Amino acid sequence: MKQQIEIVKAHQAWRTHKCECAGGCGKTECKMPDTAPTLLTAAIDDVLKAAERYEKIRKLSPREFSDLWMKNVMGGDFFDDLVDAL
């Protein structure tokens, strides 16, 4: 997740002309390799999915969270998949 957030931040810096090149040129043609459209789209999708999972988990009662966690531990299902199924 950290990598995805860094990609989004790098794109935002480039988009607002606050690039991190040696001279801080701020030119729109300054290319930052981590802001390729496919990488950026995937990173945004991952960040949004994580935010949606967080919101689902945040709204669970302690009992509901405990039940979900036990399904993960005992059943061997991936926790993210269990949260996505909520």
- Spatial CA neighbour of 24 closest among 8, 11, 35, 13: 13
- pTM exceeds 0.85 for this model: no
- CB of 45 within 8 A of CB of 9? no
Distance, in Å, from the CA atom of 70 to the CA atom of 25, rounded to the nearest integer, reads 52
* Residue range 24-76, pLDDT digits in tens: 555 555 555 555 667 677 778 888 888 899 999 999 999 999 999 999 999 88
